[in-house]
Structure 1
């Protein structure tokens, strides 16, 4: 575990794999920390420098007061990669992490050579929905959203196992200000125009049972980028790297091989 002091915020990050390998960066979803990727990492191929981090207000990163802007979240990722001297990475972003990925790719073509946009979109939801969620959290804490969120996050079969409780517990234990701050960032983001200008290798991944970013929404965003590839994971929800880690890693491995990253 390491902390990167980038001024306004201090980001918790981890580097695993080959320190001299090809860089791959993972940005996780709202209400989770970098452990989101734990089960999948052992299935990734050798020769990768694997970088994960907790976005502001989540996990072990610092918690500036809400609200946050998407621009701030993108700047955080940009500053971390500059600190780690990362260029030409493959950036894997899930949900809000996918929004960060799109924003960073538009801003820093030197840092990002390819994208994996997982369970995400150029625009997620509408401001009124996010305001309703923020109001609910302010009144009843994150617990007020937890059960409904689990239904959107996971397939019905996964929710019958006790494993889903790990993710429920992770969600409700995130800092309230960090959760609210990132809700505000998502609410204010519409990347349709900038994302449609991207020209870099892109893989889209969707889960057939994703209630947060349904497959058609993910596909619509992926099709904004010429030459992109779309993969649908059957019987998986919003966090397919949790439900099907080996299958998810296989999609990443094939993409990394196709673009010559490994």
Structure 2
């Protein structure tokens, strides 16, 4: 995997890569999501072809980045992302977050000294009680067993990533079971899974994002939700988006939390690409 290992302080290294030339777009991934997963969305290639510089990175805890001792905080992870932007000399960027990457994108407003041109958040604005329960269960398992058993992780991924219609199709479930269950371990070490899960749970438990945080987002913002997402239900994300002064809300029906990757029509990708293009014409 080509890219750069960037020193971000305290002996930590964050793997990052950039492609293309032009205005910078930073892609922040979900919990435990390898940066290569963005390829399944088609978004990096589409943005590069449209004249953007696209930066992806592996958040602390995800291979091949460092995994310092747990717990982590969302703001620590955002500081890592800020260091990546600084390493590449970026002074202005569009931020795109998926799932937990939406938390990191919001925290970048607090820790990065550059200018944020626009913010796109997909399936990650307002979490659910289910999300809190799942994170708490994972933390309990880590405390008791040292890690989340692979069979538990696989069940969680299948139940939340796929849409209800896909879950009712045994053939589809079997295919995704083999794909998800056969993938290499994404974590640098157990500390990475523990650290990121703790950061996610702390953000949700604190009631983030607060109305004050949302109302303070001053740049153009796009919020995309999926109709069958149990981690970030559409109704909650739509309500949260209403507190962002300059925001557009898009609902994509028929997809679960994994709609960013699994939607054959790449509807979320199209909306994000169009949003980025609109920022260029606003100048």
1:152 is aligned to: 160
Q: 2-side partners of 1:83 and 1:33: how far apart?
A: 20
1:181 is aligned to: 195
Q: Choose which of 224, 232, 239 in structure 2 pairs with 1:213.
A: 232
Q: 2-side partners of 1:82 and 1:76: how far apart?
A: 10
2:135 is aligned to: 130
Q: 2-side partners of 1:188 and 1:173: how far apart?
A: 22
**Contact 2:154-2:180 within 8 A present in 1 as well:** no
2:179 is aligned to: 166
1:29 is aligned to: 30
Matched position secondary structure for 2:103:
helix
Give the drift of 1:240: 2.1
Structure 1 residues 11 and 237 mapped into 2: Cα distance closer, same or farther (>3 Å)?
same
Matched position secondary structure for 1:260:
helix
Give the drift of 1:166: 3.1
Unaligned runs of 5+ residues in structure 1 are none
Give the drift of 1:224: 1.9
Superposition TM-score, scaled by structure 2 size? 0.83
Structure 1 residues 176 and 164 mapped into 2: Cα distance closer, same or farther (>3 Å)?
same
Q: 2-side partners of 1:53 and 1:100: how far apart?
A: 12
Structure 1 residues 112 and 136 mapped into 2: Cα distance closer, same or farther (>3 Å)?
same
Matched position secondary structure for 1:56:
coil
- Residue deviations 1:114-161 (CA, integer Å, cap 9, x gap): 111111125565766533221124426242232023211221455515
Q: Choose which of 45, 53, 57 in structure 1 pairs with 2:57.
A: 53
Q: 1-side partners of 2:61 and 2:138: how far apart?
A: 17
Structure 1 residues 203 and 109 mapped into 2: Cα distance closer, same or farther (>3 Å)?
farther
Give the drift of 1:195: 2.6
User: Is it true that 1:199 corresponds to 2:203 in the alignment?
Assistant: no
Equivalent pairs, count? 260
Unaligned runs of 5+ residues in structure 2 are none
Larger mean Cα displacement after TM superposition, 236-245 or 183-192:
236-245
Structure 1 residues 110 and 122 mapped into 2: Cα distance closer, same or farther (>3 Å)?
farther
Q: 2-side partners of 1:37 and 1:231: how far apart?
A: 20
Superposition TM-score, scaled by structure 1 size? 0.89
